[in-house]
Amino acid sequence: MNLPQSPYYIERIHRNYRDMLTVVWMVTRECHFKCDYCYQPDIKHTPVDIDLLISKLNELPKPFRIQITGGEPLLFNWMIPFIQKIGEIGGIVELQTNFSLQVRELLDSVSPKVLEFMVISYHPVERKRVVPNGIEKFISDLHYAKSKGFNFLVWHISYPKLTPDEYLADCKVLYDAGITVTRKRYIGNFEGKGWPGDAFVAHKLKCRAGNKYFIMWENFDITPCDHDRTYLGNMLTGYKLYEESKPCQMPFCGCGGREIIVDKYYDPFFKKEFGDNDA
């Protein structure tokens, strides 16, 4: 079994997001899974005034896209109504989730035209620990999502602690059930050394971060991206984005950056992962 090897965005680079404003909302760091490869700092969740936030997002140019990530966004009962309201004001949503909370409620309440894409993480150890019949329920919910017309990517983090054989055997459970799994390279420290993950050198390449793309943190502060923490303001009290794309000042791009880098950049990494198309 050859597991697809994919940086973060490869499953959806064909979508026309290049000119669409993207808000990445780090809604929380809280999660009911306790994976030992995940960084979970002691940051308290900021209460959310949904109506106020929706009114501010409604001021964005239409259509816009909001990527909702964490932590686990579906910890909150207000998340499903929030996603519905995003659709009402002309936005589309990508949700990053471990797909273990409020799953059927989400799939039955939200249109796949609004929740356009889901990045679903497969954490078998924690799923077995937290969710009764965890793997079986996960497979059932994925098949249900397919039947409802939802687009999603299932990723499995290739944590260095796992041997290749262990990793593939783990993923085979889903493969045998007809679910494709994509490898998400681990990014972080392991045994005192930095693990490169999906990072590639992006220094001085022109990037849309801070212009057509920005991060909104738990307290609604806005920065260009996860690595560039230049303060641009606050979604609720006021902010100012860059008027045009700027060269990246970061030493590397941890997200893969394919959607937001303006320059055509075909080093061996990109040729291998994306090919020569400018899709």
- Tell me 209's DSSP state: B
**Looking at the domain assignment, is residue 253 inside a domain?**
no
Position 10 confidence tier, pLDDT thresholds 50, 70, 90? very low
Higher pLDDT, 258 or 226: 226
* pLDDT score of 132: 85
Q: Six-digit token pair at 1?
A: 């079994």
**Looking at the domain assignment, is residue 230 inside a domain?**
no
Tokens 């040729």, located at residue: 271
Of the candidates 85, 23, 9, 78, which has an alpha carbon nearest to the alpha carbon of residue 261?
Answer: 9
Quote the percentage of the chain above a pLDDT of 70: 75
Tally the domains of the chain. Answer: 1
What CATH number is associated with residue 86? Answer: 3.20.20.70
* pLDDT score of 267: 47
Range among 3-12, 178-187, 249-258 rated most confident: 178-187
Using CA atoms in the order 109, 113, 115, 121, what is the torsion angle rounded to 10 degrees?
110
Higher pLDDT, 109 or 199: 109
Taking the model in full, what pTM does it have?
Answer: 0.86
| Mean predicted confidence (pLDDT) in 125-148 | 92
Strands 238-239 and 246-247: unpaired
**Looking at the domain assignment, is residue 210 inside a domain?**
no
Position 212 confidence tier, pLDDT thresholds 50, 70, 90? very high
Q: Which residues touch 153 (CB under 8 Å, ≥6 apart)? A: 6, 11, 12, 117, 118, 119, 120, 182
**Looking at the domain assignment, is residue 145 inside a domain?**
yes
Of the candidates 202, 171, 191, which has an alpha carbon nearest to the alpha carbon of residue 267?
Answer: 202
Question: Out of 14-18, 202-206, 211-215, which region has the weakest mean confidence (pLDDT)?
Answer: 14-18
Question: Out of 122-136, 155-169, 262-276, which region has the weakest mean confidence (pLDDT)?
Answer: 262-276
Average pLDDT, the chain: 82
Counted residue by residue, the chain has a size of 279
Determine the 3-state secondary structure of 233 from DSSP. strand
- Are 148 and 140 within 8 A, CB to CB? no
Q: Six-digit token pair at 124?
A: 């078998």
Measured distance CA(79)–CA(46) in Å, rounded: 14
**Looking at the domain assignment, is residue 270 inside a domain?**
no
Position 250 confidence tier, pLDDT thresholds 50, 70, 90? confident
**Looking at the domain assignment, is residue 109 inside a domain?**
yes
Q: Domain span at residue 77? A: 16-198
**Looking at the domain assignment, is residue 213 inside a domain?**
no
| Mean predicted confidence (pLDDT) in 45-62 | 91
Measured distance CA(134)–CA(13) in Å, rounded: 31
- Are 138 and 104 within 8 A, CB to CB? no
Q: Is 208 left (phi over 0), alpha (psi -120 to 50) or beta?
A: alpha
Quote the percentage of the chain above a pLDDT of 90: 46
**Looking at the domain assignment, is residue 183 inside a domain?**
yes
Determine the 3-state secondary structure of 19 from DSSP. coil
Position 193 confidence tier, pLDDT thresholds 50, 70, 90? low
